[in-house]
Copies of this chain bind each other. A is one copy, B any other.
Amino acid sequence: MENKLQNKIANKQKSKPNSMLFKSPPHIIGRYVIVGTKETEGPFKEYFKHSIIEKEFIKLTYEKAECKILEEAIFNAIHNSNLTLSDIDVLLSGDLLNQITSSSFAARKFDTSFVGLYGACSTMAESLAIGACLIDGGYFKRVACSTSSHFATAERQYRAPLELGTPRTPSSQWTVTATACSVLSNSGNGPIITSATFGKVTDFGISDANNMGAAMAPAALTTLVAHFLNTHTKPEDYDLIMTGDLGKLGSDIFVDLMEQEGYKLGQNYTDGGHIMFSINQKTNQGGSGCGCGASLLNSYVLDKIENGTYKKVLFIATGALLNSLTSQQGETIPCIAHSLVIEKGD
């Protein structure tokens, strides 16, 4: 059946972006999340079991701290998979920092092949999608997929150092401090990744680096509509559809855009950025950052899949592909979204 659908996708009239169906869907056999203090005070505190121990980081720069928690998340995800470091064939990772230094520097600690990715906040979906291809294609047996973001490193790189006390605009989102790693394997009994869609770069002319939800919503739309068409599914076929991280404003725009395309998103739709923090945490439009969707996926969502609450989840991670120089040079913000379907395995 899978193969028949795969041919159908290959032969049909082009409706880009294209989707991939996995013949031998890889299993998520282990995972680990580390979040910051603020994140443990929000609605998901019971799902975030590991947070930064601040005294360990007192002598580090923010960048070194981000790298260290990423290392720890990767190490512990491998450990939780009942594997040793030498069992991992490839590590796929990316983050928000210039030249993805959190990932590259963390990779020094792991004696394995490394593939560096950049998809801004869409990185968790990008790494899981490529990881799934590398396993399903028969090239490797076990792949670790990770990402990270950190409020202080992201603010000083993209906008202004926190020490300046720059006021935050109403449309802004709060970069989540979180690292997450999932370990994929060609065998096991964890949740499985059954399909994925690499999104296309979409630019709707928004140039405000403090309104990224609005910039990213059209990219999420493009990917999700393509995904539904390519896989012949509709919103009701999923127990949960989670975008990340459009925030409150961005996800409202996204729901409206989807409705214009004829897809009514119901109670099964949510956005990682929107739900990450409670209203009294004063994050304006909610969370953002690679770690936002990644930490929710690797805790709350996969917990619910493993315990049977959710059977089929569609995760669409969105990324704004700007840098501080392009903003200064008056450029608009190109965005992307990659999607994944995760189902309860056998």
Contacts of A200 in B (CB 8 A): 107, 110-114
Q: Which residues of B contact A136 (CB under 8 A)?
A: 137
Closest chain-B Cβ to A65's Cβ sits at a distance in Å of: 12
B-contact 0/1 string along A309-346, CB 8 Å cutoff? 00000000000011111100101001010000000000
Contact A117 B116 (CB under 8 A): yes
- A203: B residues at CB distance < 8 A: 108
A104 within 8 A of B: yes
User: Restricting to A120-164, which residues have a CB under 8 Å from any CB of B?
Assistant: 120, 126, 130, 133-134, 136-141
Q: Which residues of B contact A63 (CB under 8 A)?
A: 325-326, 329
CB-based contact A101/B323 at 8 Å:
yes
Is A260's CB within 8 Å of the partner chain B?
no
Q: CB distance A334 to B86 under 8 Å?
A: no
A20 to B18, CA, bound (A): 24
When the two chains form their complex, are residues A198 and B61 in contact, meaning their CB atoms are under 8 A apart? no
Asked if A64 lies at the interface with its beta carbon under 8 angstroms from chain B, I say yes
Instruction: Say yes or no for A14: interface residue by CB 8 A criterion.
Output: yes
Give chain A's interface residues, CB within 8 Å of chain B.
6, 10, 14, 16-18, 20, 61, 63-64, 86, 89-90, 94, 96-101, 104-105, 107-108, 110-120, 126, 130, 133-134, 136-141, 197-203, 321-326, 329, 331, 334, 336
3 interchain residue pairs of minimum CB distance:
A137-B137, A104-B321, A113-B198
- With A108-B201, A200-B112, A334-B108 given, is the CB distance from A323 to B99 under 8 Å? yes
CB distance from A247 to the nearest CB of B (A): 20
The residue in chain B whose Cβ has the minimal distance to the Cβ of A203 is: B108
Extra inter-chain contacts (19) besides given A17-B113, A116-B118, A117-B118, CB under 8 Å? A6-B138, A10-B141, A16-B113, A18-B113, A61-B329, A97-B325, A101-B322, A101-B326, A105-B321, A105-B331, A107-B334, A108-B201, A108-B202, A113-B197, A113-B199, A115-B119, A116-B119, A133-B137, A136-B137
